[in-house]
Every structure is written in C-alpha cells, then in structure tokens.
Amino acid sequence: MSRAGCAAVGPWGSAGVVSGGWDGRAYAEASSHHRVLDEWFLSRHRPAPDARIVDVGCGSGEFTARLAELVPEGSVLGVDPDPSMIEAAGRHAAANLSFLTARAQDLDEVVPAASVDLVVSRAALHWIPEHEHQRCYEAVRTVLAPGGVFHAESGGAGNVERLVTLLDAVAAGLGVAPSCATFLTAGAAFELLEQAGFAPGPEDVRTVAQRRAFTEEALVAMIPTQAVAAYALQPGEVRERFLAEVERRLEEVRRPDGTWDQTFVRLEVLVRRER
C-alpha cells in the first residue's frame, strides 16, 4: 500500500504523517517485535569492527546501540527526525555512539560526503512519502564511501494487511484519511534506487513475509505507539475515539489459528555503492 498523496505533514516528510508526535520511551517499550529480528537483519550483512555506520531512523536507539557494540574500533551515528526518539536514544550514548536529529532525506546535509562505510535503516523508511524516497536514496548514496553498503528494511507492500484494513475502516468512520504509510513493492524500490545512482543486482531488493508473535496486550500497546502514526490524528477526542474503536474491534485482526500474531512484509534493500 502506498498513499503518497496524503495531505498530512510530519517530521518524516513534507506530505508525511501527523500523529501529534512520537513518544520515544513508549515506542521503546512496545517495539520488541522489531528487536527479535535484529539477528536476522545482521546475518545478511555484519559490519566490520572498524566500520563507520549511520543508522537512519534510529528510533529509541536499541539497535543502534547493538551496532556500536559490534564496531568497537569504529563509530555509529543514529539519526532520527523526531526529538522524542533522539531523547530516548540518548540513554544508549557511548564513546563510539552519538545521535542527531535529522530526516533521512537530509542525511547528506548533516553527514560528510563519502565518509560512511555502512548506512542501515530499520522499520523507518515507510514513513517517508513515496515521492521523497528517491531523494532519501540519493542522500544515502552521497554519504557512502565508494564500496560502502546500504542495508535497510521497512514495511513493504502487504505489510500487516489485516491490521491496516481495520485501522483504515475505523479512520473512514471518523472522517479521517486512510493510512499514509508508504509500503513499496520491491520493483518500485528497485527503480527508485536505480534513479538515485545505485546499481542493484537481482538479489539486492526483495520483500520477505514474517510471522511476528503478539499477545493481545502487546498488540494493544503497539497500535498507539506505532501504527497510529500513519493517520492524521492530533491528540484529542478524535484520536481517543479512534483508539477506543480499534480496541473494541481488535478481534478482527486475530488469525484463523486463534493467535494474535501478525504477518509483516519487509522490504529489504542491500546494495553497494560502486567504486
């Protein structure tokens, strides 16, 4: 699903998300479903001990801190456009780890050109409007040194489809626009990477379906701290009505096997800047 035409405005883009702001600490407490996939992500490309890394959309910094542990002779910079996330991430600061408030699209304005060995991004780039993805990829390519690697995963086409269907239905009932999340197909991402100057190979861009375990309580915690950010809901009565109605109808996202597990679809990019 991709709705680049959403009229909302948020920290990730000029036509991105309105949610009244993120809550970095609340996000950290409800994002364990991402953390259980950290080793899966690292298994595809593990950084060298002296790598210079930028984590784009670092959120509350848990994975960024893990990267810093893997590069004791290198350095890691976590970048996120939301001040609340950067504040929460600051708890992880270390000698080789720092954080900065900035958008992915502006990465080349805050990081020197050709100065980074690895740019990573986890569960973040789907917050960027589709028409700004190419600019994001261009900024990433600019800061990568020749031979440097861009490794990202974010929501892809079909991500949490059962949940999005429910949230969109509730939004429609309240006169709220549908999800603004940009869930690209692998083909769309492939072409945008090419337009940004990368030369992806046949195995470099893919979508991967994942069953992620949830309890009802974990799902209820995830919706207001993450999923709701895809809707133009400022703090107030409408937002509270939205969340209450979603919780009332939550049974609609239960799987046929009776569990609360959700099917995530991840768009994974693993490309190298040519020398």
pLDDT, position 213: 96
Q: Does 194 reside within a domain? A: yes
- The whole-number pLDDT of residue 244 equals 96
Classify residue 91: in a domain, yes or no: yes
**Is residue 67 within 8 Å of residue 55, measured between CB atoms?**
yes
Regions of the chain short of the pLDDT cut 50: 1-9, 14-20
Q: What is the pLDDT of residue 2?
A: 30
**Residue 250 domain-assigned (yes or no):** no
Q: CB neighbours of 61 closer than 8 A, spacing ≥ 6?
A: 78, 85, 88, 89, 90, 91, 92, 99
Alpha-carbon span 146 to 213, nearest angstrom:
39
Q: Which domain holds residue 146?
A: 24-160+181-212+257-272
Q: Is residue 242 part of a domain?
A: no
Within a domain: residue 62? yes
- Amino acid identity, position 9: V
Is 118 part of a structural domain of the chain? yes
pLDDT digits (tens, 9 = 90+) for 161-176: 999 999 999 999 999 9
Residue 165, in any domain of the structure: no
**Residue showing tokens 């609609």:** 252
Q: Among residues 92, 96, 265, 95, which one has the least CA distance to residue 186?
A: 265
Distance CA 116, CA 136 (A): 15
CATH number at residue 102: 3.40.50.150
In a domain, 42, yes or no: yes
Looking at residue 11, what is its pLDDT? 59
Question: What is residue 118's predicted lDDT score, i.e. its pLDDT?
Answer: 98
Provide the domain count of the chain: 1
- Its pTM stands at 0.92
